[in-house]
Amino acid sequence: MNPIYKTVGVVGAGAMGRGIAQIATQAGSRVKLFDMQADAVSKAIAAVGAQWEKMAEKQRISPEQVAQYKQALQPAAQLADLADCDLVIEAIVERLDIKKSFFAELEALVQPTAVLVTNTSSLSVTAIASALKRPEQFAGYHFFNPVPLMKVVEVIAGIKTKPSICQDLAHYATQMGHKAVQAQDTPGFIVNHAGRGYGTEALRIVSEGIADFATIDRILKDQVGFKLGPFELMDLTALDVSHPVMESIYQQYYEEPRYRPSVITAQRLAGGIVGKKVGEGFYKYIEGVAQVPPEPPVPVVSDMPPVWVSTRAVRRAELLQLLKDLGAKIETGASPSAQALSIVAPLGFDVTTVAIVERLDPARTIGIDFLIDDKITKRRVLATNPATRADMRDAAHALFARDGKPVSVIRDSGGFVTQRVVATIVNIACDICQQGVCTPQDLETAVTLGLGYPMGPLMMGDKFGPTEILEVLFNVQTVYGDPRYRPSPWLRRRGAIGLSLSHVES
């Protein structure tokens, strides 16, 4: 292999720096690893060597390659040893003052043609470069942990970065076996920016007392297909990592409501309840296994009331067919009888609002989330309102669980759980495109590879309907009066005329 950068310096011997050093060496570069702690460098090089040996045992690389790689990965005793590097990748503490000071010192040592990059996840690339004499030679190069497995890297241009530098860095990422995505220098770049909706909206749902952590995780995994629920994910990444990122992006965007953090994570971080690594987060862990509370049992209902379905229900024909398949006695009148269980299926509105607008008896009214086709979901979600009678709640739960599909019953919420979380994710992604942070294609690639979503957020919007997502946002904003839910112009315009969010003509 003929790498674009022959000699590469990596600064920081933690997990991130170790991973970057590994893949840069495998790309054919001679790599020098430096850290202020010399023993950290020797341990990191030993760990990378052990990883190569395991790869050889699995016949993924040859013994000859192991020997070649070990020879090419060298320790740097002092920063001056990086003077001959074509590229230096920094992966140290996330503090602007420390990074600026470090790069000012490094720039004085290396060749004028050397490219300097930061692996920062949330700091401004332009701000870090502001103290440099050659800011045109500086860029962001954001990898994700674990580096050898997370196959995406964000290439971020500062205001003064030469375009050719980013092109070369993208090429080098490909040589390292990664997919490069290009991003403008904005808070959170692509992945951390696009990821704001999932956790913060789930936290808002919990803060409103709508459902508990486990229920929300189950709903979003079963209805949408996320591999991890938001609280499982925050436990895995740990709040001492994720909460400061929430606060950083919120502050850098001058308190933009879409990125508002939660007091829940702030309190838990203050109390040291940060996640799996300490044995307790949103879940408790015994020997690394989350202790998830069991689902409530399906109620036993001997006398099932007749069912009436709102004429304004989304996917009404499908909902009526489902009820027929479940053996419900369906009323077809213009309004429900005094005995009927009234089913509403709104987009964005809460059950209370729908009951009032449609002049239904709130005590006998239940909502169902029908944004997504019931055939492709693994869970049904019902919502009560504050006046819903317990017998009506139990009847609805028992009825919709008749075919064995799990049912979650939550308290009243504009947009249930899935609608508001999905709409928030899609809306933030659309605004990233509106701001020109990256191309729609790079956004989809970055999120699917960097966050592991079942699909890109723009594709998610297309799958569930741009017009429907737009309606959810308008109505949720009406319910809560919060500018957090105002639709991005990108979504508002494209959704209003039925255009795809993800397929954009150049």
DSSP state at residue 297: P
Catalytic residue among 121, 262, 427, 475: 121
Q: Is 342 a catalytic residue?
A: no
Which residues are CB-neighbours of 260 under 8 A, at least 6 positions away?
A: 200, 250, 484
Catalytic residue among 122, 124, 192, 413: 192
In which order are the strands placed within the sheet that holds 152-157? 73-75, 30-34, 7-11, 87-90, 115-118, 138-142, 152-157, 179-184
Catalytic residue among 154, 201, 468, 471: 154
In the block, which residue shows the tokens 């933690």?
14
Of residues 502, 506, 435, 505, the one with CA closest to residue 469: 502
What stretch of H or E contains 420?
helix 418-435
Of residues 387, 305, 302, the one with CA closest to residue 338: 305
119/147 Cα distance (integer angstroms): 12
Classify residue 213 by burial, with Cβ atoms within 10 Å: 0-12, 13-18, 19+.
buried
Catalytic residue among 107, 124, 142, 427: 142
Classify residue 184 by burial, with Cβ atoms within 10 Å: 0-12, 13-18, 19+.
middle
Q: Is 154 a catalytic residue?
A: yes
| C-alpha dihedral sign at 480, 485, 489, 492 | negative
Yes or no: say if 430 and 501 are a contact pair by the CB < 8 Å rule: yes
Q: Is 142 a catalytic residue?
A: yes
Cite the active site residues: 121, 142, 154, 192
